[in-house]
Structure 1
């Protein structure tokens, strides 16, 4: 062997023995530490083989997708199909336990409804939200004593009385501003498509803000924007572009409250795909944009609470979520023998979270809904015909349905359309739980502390279910096998509202909310608190929008159902081509 070869094979041969031993020892320790830090899979559950060869695990692939402009959240839904298994494991951060992805409706339903002692909101989910609204119940484990106190503070907001006397009328009244805006835009655009996202986003914020805070110093951004569009309509150019060319309206600039709200919502959405959400928020909250957003948030809430106290002192009628929460705090303080605190972190974060949840999800659902109606003219026509049959008096009198008519009249096809929008393109696509004890899922041992991701699209929801041996299901899952209906899974990806309808004995069609798999609002004690408000808002807005406007087909480049992930999963493009219904 040549001297050159010896140098290559024995790099430490020329060093003193003690030095060589130290270097070899250090390298051995580093190697063992690296091996120790590599992901440790749970036995028997599929995973990506490349992920266990690096301490980054699957985070390396997820970050690559993010850098290339892809959707990291979509990666999770792809894993069960990739491995042909309803349960897979993934490794999202260095030195962390594997997380599970469980893609099966029955087992997800079982965990959410009947296995609350085994699964709860976990640290990752808490960290996603606690960086922005740490005192809101969404950022708390169910076992946290503060969780119950916070839910007590807001429990009046989903009662039929509040929804039908406060929320509903404000939704209806603010919708009129929106209808006026789009009638103007339909006239000015002259049949050309235009961007709809900002209008819907602003309108739903106008609604939830006045429902949450009352009139106060609130001014409708939609009404102000209508004035701007009207003032510029005379200068609109029509002849220079084809009918498929989007019409560009003046930008609808958000006010300081909506900008602050958007900045904080984006922070929560961004944290969801970070390896360490809590660390992300600690860094992100130091940025000037976030500091400005927090300042605007507290300025708005301080101002509104002050106005609320004046209303309370004057004995004014309770007319907002804030008023109800202040009354609830007053009663709690009296019962506990203490002074009421109306500017507590819980009061502020619950109120701000109510605005956020009621705004973002409704805006996103409406965007997806209008895309479905434009893409499927049959569904749109059937829905409009159903509405006109249900509100025959409004048709004969040449007017819109009133709020009272909308909440009192059953329109099964409208309910079916809304349910199908939420099933196929719901604003939230994944639920999260963490094992609070050692337990099992589909026969696999799951250690305490394991996080479980529950996709609510994909296998068993919008694509055929993956095969599962019945004996592997939990006893409670087996005993509730027929709790919900099923349908032909071969068309589960298609938008078919009729799947939610069934015929009564007299052949009348009725809406069946249990017709098939759907978890858009989760289930159980941690089910979506605002579910009733969301349905009410969608029912009113869809009725009025479809009553007043016909949505024409869009050119292919504007009709994409591609999505982008923020706090919710939104359409990448949301355009409409509308004409006013005569």
Structure 2
């Protein structure tokens, strides 16, 4: 029988010395490796203390948030308030540098506008976008020679001349089809609210597809759906209340839009994963992604063929694709080569143009309608401002023409758009990556560190943090008075904050205060002018023709869902004809 003393000896002590040493060495190495892999905070910048105790960092908390049905993107915007600091750090993936979250308009604008050599597009965003459209300039660094070549291919698509003469007529035509659809729905619903997001999503795609590719041979989805609504029997709907939502048939997307949505969703999903590049590597092999890519390629090949025929027939430019075909032909002649119409760069630039023009406009318009449904006084003021500006159209009780909407300034309409975009833009933040060792608000920022800049929160839609002037960059200090701060409640929807007195009238002031919805600088949103044009025409024609009535609280929540953009979870409208 063994003695109590012998049995109490640890199993490790009973092993031969060499074996014990090996085990101790392995355990020590594992421990040291684990300690080495733990997140390494940058000195002096607040962070979540629990995050540095796990190699997953903050990703563990974000993962739990997802499991509970939360939205990971909101987590980023909460960290600065949580730590009461304009600059905090987060740890999003194992063995990676911390990401900084900078919630201060002045420093963010300074980075975007004046510190381009220090900061470029963030690696996460490049990987997220590059996984779906790898040959579009949005997924390239500014220093990449191909970035300049791609921008050259599309540089004139955002000029006022091209937008007003080529894009605007198609936007106007399709917007009127949308107004006709909602006028029909309003008559059927007879004062009851109905769901509107599907209609907006579809018409935005109708618009950008024809603007990008030309008429081709496809009929407007909005027109097709209008016929469905017209022919549907709604006699069986007998609600208990005027606030009960009227049920219309689904406005189902065609295969081109479905394919587009699958690809947009993939980008949106990849953004909140530890490695967007790894996400796409596996996701792109899935059957639904392969099918979506196949539909996209067939659509583009077909439309490019039609555009080449239009060019050969001597037809004038009517779309972005027509312009790109002509540009490639001229470039080929100049270089003494054959034109290349199946370049992956042309395909991705074209498809990226569609993506940017569809998703951001659809989302922005949806959020704007939610604001207008609450602020009916703003609707009426915008309507009166347009009637005063579009004098002939008002006198003749007709629709404002493309020329009237694009050439005649209506400052209050611009202010309504800008305020909706400030409070509820389609994206929640901008990411840039340090290209050199640098500083932000007095803190050391090593090369390779990404900086996330929320587009809502302190200094934009909330009161700013108090920051010592000495902590700011030299270029930020020298532009102290640029845009300033919002003195009137920054969380409130007040279009008037964008207006300034001018002689006997008011003028729209785009520099009135903090606003970064379309980013800024060299890498600011390429499609910004197109987005404004689409939104202006849609808003003008909607408010000219229709009135948005009040909604029950349960149908006008401010809940959101995240895809490529951040959209309203519910978009209902109660429509009636405007009164003259």
Q: How does 1:406-425 map to 2 (within 5 A)?
A: 406-425=405-424
Q: How does 1:303-452 map to 2 (within 5 A)?
A: 303-452=302-451
Q: Which residue of 2 aligns with 1:580?
A: 577
Tell me how far 1:4 sits from its aligned partner.
7.6
Contact 1:333–1:339, Cα closer than 8 Å, also in 2: yes
Question: Which secondary structure state, in structure 1, belongs to the residue aligned with residue 12 of structure 2?
Answer: coil
Match status 1:479 vs 2:478: yes
Question: Which secondary structure state, in structure 2, belongs to the residue aligned with residue 454 of structure 1?
Answer: strand
* Pair 1:469–1:311, CA change in 2 (3 A): same
> Whole-Å Cα distance in 2 between the matches of residues 65 and 493 of structure 1?
26
Q: Which residue of 2 aligns with 1:561?
A: 558
> Whole-Å Cα distance in 2 between the matches of residues 446 and 332 of structure 1?
43
Q: Which residue of 2 aligns with 1:149?
A: 149
> Whole-Å Cα distance in 2 between the matches of residues 510 and 455 of structure 1?
29
- Superposed CA deviations along residues 255-285 of structure 1, whole A, max 9, x for unmatched, are 0100000000000000110000000001111
Tell me how far 1:9 sits from its aligned partner.
7.6
Contact 1:71–1:565, Cα closer than 8 Å, also in 2: yes
Contact 1:216–1:307, Cα closer than 8 Å, also in 2: yes
* Pair 1:436–1:550, CA change in 2 (3 A): same
- Superposed CA deviations along residues 530-570 of structure 1, whole A, max 9, x for unmatched, are 11111111111100001111111111111111111110011
Number of residue pairs the alignment of both structures matches? 578
Question: Which secondary structure state, in structure 2, belongs to the residue aligned with residue 525 of structure 1?
Answer: coil
Tell me how far 1:389 sits from its aligned partner.
1.9
Match status 1:529 vs 2:491: no
Question: Which secondary structure state, in structure 2, belongs to the residue aligned with residue 448 of structure 1?
Answer: coil
> Whole-Å Cα distance in 2 between the matches of residues 249 and 399 of structure 1?
29
Q: How does 1:142-541 map to 2 (within 5 A)?
A: 142-232=142-232, 234-488=233-487, 491-506=489-504, 508-541=505-538
Tell me how far 1:338 sits from its aligned partner.
2.0
Question: Which secondary structure state, in structure 2, belongs to the residue aligned with residue 524 of structure 1?
Answer: coil
Bigger mean CA deviation after superposition, 474-483 or 306-315: 306-315
Contact 1:7–1:13, Cα closer than 8 Å, also in 2: no
Contact 1:484–1:517, Cα closer than 8 Å, also in 2: yes
> Whole-Å Cα distance in 2 between the matches of residues 242 and 473 of structure 1?
57
Unaligned runs of at least 5 residues, structure 1: none
Q: How does 1:116-127 map to 2 (within 5 A)?
A: 116-127=116-127
Question: Which secondary structure state, in structure 1, belongs to the residue aligned with residue 522 of structure 2?
Answer: helix
Question: Which secondary structure state, in structure 2, belongs to the residue aligned with residue 13 of structure 1?
Answer: helix
Contact 1:51–1:57, Cα closer than 8 Å, also in 2: yes
Tell me how far 1:7 sits from its aligned partner.
6.3
* Pair 1:393–1:140, CA change in 2 (3 A): same
* Pair 1:301–1:3, CA change in 2 (3 A): farther
Using structure 2 for the length normalisation, give the TM-score.
0.98
Question: Which secondary structure state, in structure 2, belongs to the residue aligned with residue 235 of structure 1?
Answer: coil
Which one of the candidate residues 535, 548, 561 is aligned to 1:551? Answer: 548
* Pair 1:400–1:18, CA change in 2 (3 A): same
Question: Which secondary structure state, in structure 1, belongs to the residue aligned with residue 567 of structure 2?
Answer: strand
Tell me how far 1:509 sits from its aligned partner.
1.3
> Whole-Å Cα distance in 1 between the matches of residues 346 and 393 of structure 2?
42
> Whole-Å Cα distance in 2 between the matches of residues 395 and 324 of structure 1?
35
Unaligned runs of at least 5 residues, structure 2: none
* Pair 1:5–1:104, CA change in 2 (3 A): farther
Tell me how far 1:331 sits from its aligned partner.
2.0
CA RMSD, 1 decimal: 1.4
Tell me how far 1:433 sits from its aligned partner.
0.5
Q: Which residue of 2 aligns with 1:138?
A: 138
Contact 2:157–2:320, Cα closer than 8 Å, also in 1: yes
- Spell out structure 1 runs of 4+ moving beyond 4 A: 2-9
Contact 2:442–2:472, Cα closer than 8 Å, also in 1: yes
Tell me how far 1:398 sits from its aligned partner.
1.5
Tell me how far 1:505 sits from its aligned partner.
3.5
Question: Which secondary structure state, in structure 2, belongs to the residue aligned with residue 24 of structure 1?
Answer: helix
Contact 1:188–1:236, Cα closer than 8 Å, also in 2: no
Using structure 1 for the length normalisation, give the TM-score.
0.97
